Amino acid sequence: MAERQSAGAGLLRRLRPRRRDEPAPGDPRNIGWLYVLPGLAFYVLFTLAPLVHTVYYSLFSWDGLTAKTYVGLSNYSSAFVDSALRSSFVHSAVLIAFYAVIPVILGLLLTAALTRHPVRGFRFFRTALFLPQLIAGVVIAQAWTWIYDDNGPLNWALREVGLGSLARPWLGDFSWALPAIGTIGTWVTYGLCMVLFVSGVQKIPSTLYDAARVDGAGAVREFLAVTLPGLRGEVLVALVLTTINALRSFDIVYNTTAGGPGGTTLVPSMYMYQNAFLYNKVGYAAAVATILAVTIFVLAAIVLRVGDRSERA
Amino acid sequence: MTAGRLERLGSYGVLTLFSLLAIYPILSILFLALHKKTDLVTGFAFPTHLDLSSFKAAWTEGRFGTGFLSSFIVAATVTVVSAVLSIGTGYAFGTMRFLGDRIVFPIILLGIIFPYEATVIPLYYDFQDVPLIHLHLLNTYWALILPQIGQSVAFGTFWMRAFFRSTPRSLIEAARIDGATSFGVLWRVLLPQARPAVLTMSVLVFTYTWNEFLLALVLVSGSQSHQTAPLGLSFFAGAVRAGDPTKVAAAAVLVAAPILVVYLFLQRHFVRGMLAGAIKE
């Protein structure tokens, strides 16, 4: 479920304010505009303009058919007291634990296990670990719907080992559907974190490890003193990327539970879709979309800011 | 040394476990797809014989011929056009200074993180009757192609700029002294070396465009002949899953197959491209 954003989200680090501004490359040549304009035109017309247009729509009450009515910020004040929207953000917070926190911890543990010795053949494992990144969200949803199916592998395995009482249609269960979707997210992102961290470790100078060993550091100390600080950049990138994935997650939710049962897996993007295209509350849906975009932007900025501070310390 | 060997064995054990977990969900639908409805599949469903009838049924009943054609037209167009545009923008930002470049580049980068969920509502209404020129683009390929070019250019600009910045300045300067125009430098000096970078970018953009779902759901749901493969799969699953999960599994495998095949041959490009953000700088 690699989204277009995910490939580039690591690039976010570029957006951090630079302390030492490097000189711009090349000569002053205004002919540069000639090369920029065509691409910029597509970007402005079909990405930036719709974004601004969404914010504009959010100031209106509109059913999508009849005339719009300007209502100022009232869509936002109703959003503020909308319990469905609030719970959709709570669900997102739960998903962040599954999409971002667990995979990052898993990735770090694995990396810690691997740095003690050089691993031969990591390329082979990498091929498998990266696989979930390329699969369409719709396909992932079908695969996991089967895994969670009443007759699917998970319930079958539970019954085989005598835990049949735990078997259930996971995606239809009020308390298990959200963790079940979260588990899909963990599956999608842990391999990416592992590959990211393992290739990051290879760039840590081996002299640092030698020094730690000379000082008699054990595996734990070595990890805390050398590996973790050395991977700070990779961890940040992974957190931003997976958090954004968790907040979006439309494809998987729409194709597994569509927000159900009873709204227990409703996420903001799903809620936006429902309001815009099923309930005909276009202005309100635009406000939800705006809130989602701002949330993603703020969260990304916070993660990067915290990372920037720890860099200075 | 035995402790060390044990540790190493443990590392490989953990790696193998996680690798298998990463593959298993895909294998599980493949196994399911190799059965027929009448097999009444449960559990791990390891196929005992090669039965492709579910694939045949899914292909015709789900109209995946049309879905694949639509997906291919859209993904190929987006990939080619955005590659050409990104080579241009990347070249300018990577090798030249011009008025406003420091303002425009960060604005383009914003497009990489902004969620395109926040663009679908206006796209849906504006494509019904495009402002100023009054075209109806909803339920046409253009409705999918144009916005995805816009998004891909954001990523492509970043990617190609990084490449052009990494090429030696002396190369460009030498060509200029020889009297090459700015286009000559790009076409004859830089592009021949840029092939791997362009291929990586194209592979990623093609994959994202092939897999895209929300835009297709909103912008071409109304026209069966323009539906992409993932959208077709979503509708097919909704209609058929309760009755015959093997057909849905077969359809899902079909939709994933083209990208998986490309991945087998070009995986270096996938991994390099997706990790690039972290590795660069």
Q: How does pLDDT run across A236-292, given as a tens digit for each residue?
A: 888 988 898 898 889 999 999 999 899 999 999 999 999 999 999 999 999 999 999
Sorted by where each starts, the structural domains of chain A and their CATH numbers stand as 82-279+294-312 (1.10.3720.10)
Query: B159 in a domain, yes or no?
Result: yes
Q: Are B113 and A265 in contact (CB under 8 A)?
A: no
The per-residue pLDDT for A305 is: 76
- Would residue B43 count as lying in a domain? no
Instruction: Give Dmax over CA atoms of chain A in angstroms.
Output: 76
Q: Is residue B37 part of a domain?
A: no
Asked, for residue B10, whether it belongs to a domain, the answer is no
Question: Which residues from A are below 8 Å from B144, CB to CB?
Answer: none
Neighboring chain A residues of B95 at a CB cutoff of 8 Å: 25-26
Is A133 at the interface with chain B, CB within 8 A? yes
- B15/chain A closest Cα distance in angstroms: 7
Q: Among residues of chain A, what percentage have pLDDT more than 90?
A: 52
For residue B97, being part of any structural domain is answered with yes
Domain containing B134 — which CATH number? 1.10.3720.10
Chain A interface, best mutation among B146, B275, B280, B281, by max A CB count within 10 A: B275
Considering only CA atoms, which of A190, A30, A31 is closest in space to residue A110? A190
Report the alpha-carbon distance of residue B222 to residue B119 in Å, rounded: 19
Q: How many domains does chain B have?
A: 1
User: DSSP states of B63-124 as a string?
Assistant: THHHHHHHHHHHHHHHHHHHHHHHHHHHHHHHHEE-TTHHHHHHHHHHHHHS-GGGGHHHHH
User: Does residue B39 lie within any of the structural domains?
Assistant: no
Low-confidence residues in chain A, pLDDT < 50: 1-24, 313
Chain A residues with CB under 8 Å of B237 CB are 138, 141-142, 145, 255
| A126: chain B residues, CB-CB within 8 Å | 271
Interface contact A130, partner B, CB < 8 A: yes
Kindly report the nearest CA distance between residue B106 and chain A, in angstroms: 7
Q: Which residues contact residue B189 at a Cβ distance below 8 angstroms, ignoring those fewer than 6 apart?
A: B171, B172, B175, B180
Digits of tens for pLDDT over chain B (281 positions)?
Answer: 466 777 778 888 888 999 999 999 999 999 998 888 767 666 666 777 777 888 999 999 989 999 999 999 999 999 999 999 999 999 999 988 888 888 999 899 888 877 788 999 999 999 998 877 888 899 999 999 999 999 999 999 999 998 998 888 888 888 888 888 889 889 998 999 999 899 999 999 999 999 999 999 999 999 999 999 999 999 999 988 777 888 999 999 999 999 999 998 888 888 877 776 444 33
pLDDT of residue B115: 79
User: Helix, strand, or coil here: A201?
Assistant: helix
Residue B18 lies in a domain: no
Nearest to A53 among B122, B217, B274 (CB): B122
**pLDDT value of position A311:** 55
Smallest Cβ–Cβ distance between B237 and the set A130, A142, A199 belongs to: A142
pLDDT at A83: 95
Beta-sheet pairing, B96-97 with A60-61: unpaired
Residues of A in contact with B169 (CB under 8 A): 25-26
- A54 and B119 within 8 Å at the Cβ level: the answer is yes
Helix or strand holding residue B148 (H, E): helix B141-166
Question: How high is the pLDDT of residue B104?
Answer: 92
pLDDT, tens digit (0-9, with 9 covering 90-100), for A115-145: 766 677 778 888 899 899 899 999 999 999 9
Range of the domain at B203: 52-279
ipTM over 0.90: yes
Q: Is residue B62, in this structure, part of any structural domain at all?
A: yes
- Residue B135 confidence (pLDDT): 84
Q: Which residues contact A17 (CB under 8 A, 6 or more apart)?
A: none
Q: Which residues of A142-172 are buried (b: 16+ CB within 10 A; e: fewer)?
A: bbbbbbbbeebbbbbeeeeeeeeeebbbbbe
